[in-house]
Amino acid sequence: MFRSFLVLAGLCLAAVAGRAAPIRVAWTPNVLRVSDPRVPGGAVEILYLEAFCRPGGHDRDWGETRVPHRTELVSSSPGGKVLRFHTTVGTNIHVWHDVTAGRDSVAMDFRFENRGKEAWDVEWFQPACIRVDRFTGCGQSNYTARSFVFTAGGLTALDATRRTTRARYPGGQVYLPPWVPPEDANPRPLALDRLANGIIGCTSGDSKWLLAVASDRTFELFEGVYVCLHSDPWIGGLRPGEKKTVRQILYLVPNDVPALLKRYRRDFPGRPDGRW
Produce one character per residue of 34-72: b if its CB has 16 or more CB atoms within 10 Å, e if not.
bbbebbbbebbbbbbbbbbbbbebbeeeeeebbbebebe
Nearest-angstrom CA–CA distance, 111 and 108: 10
**What are the tens digits of pLDDT across the range 94-118?**
999 999 999 999 999 999 999 999 9
Q: Is the pTM of this model over 0.85?
A: yes
CB within 8 A of 17, min separation 6: which ones? 38, 104, 254
pLDDT in tens, the chain (276 residues): 444 444 433 434 444 444 445 899 999 999 999 999 999 999 999 999 999 999 999 999 999 999 999 999 999 998 999 999 999 999 999 999 999 999 999 999 999 999 999 999 999 999 999 999 999 999 999 999 999 999 999 999 999 999 999 999 999 999 999 999 999 999 999 999 999 999 999 999 999 999 999 999 999 999 999 999 999 999 999 999 999 999 999 999 999 999 999 999 999 987 666 677
What pLDDT is recorded for position 226?
92
What pLDDT is recorded for position 5?
42
**Domains, in order of start, for the chain:** 2-267 (2.70.98)
What pLDDT is recorded for position 271?
64
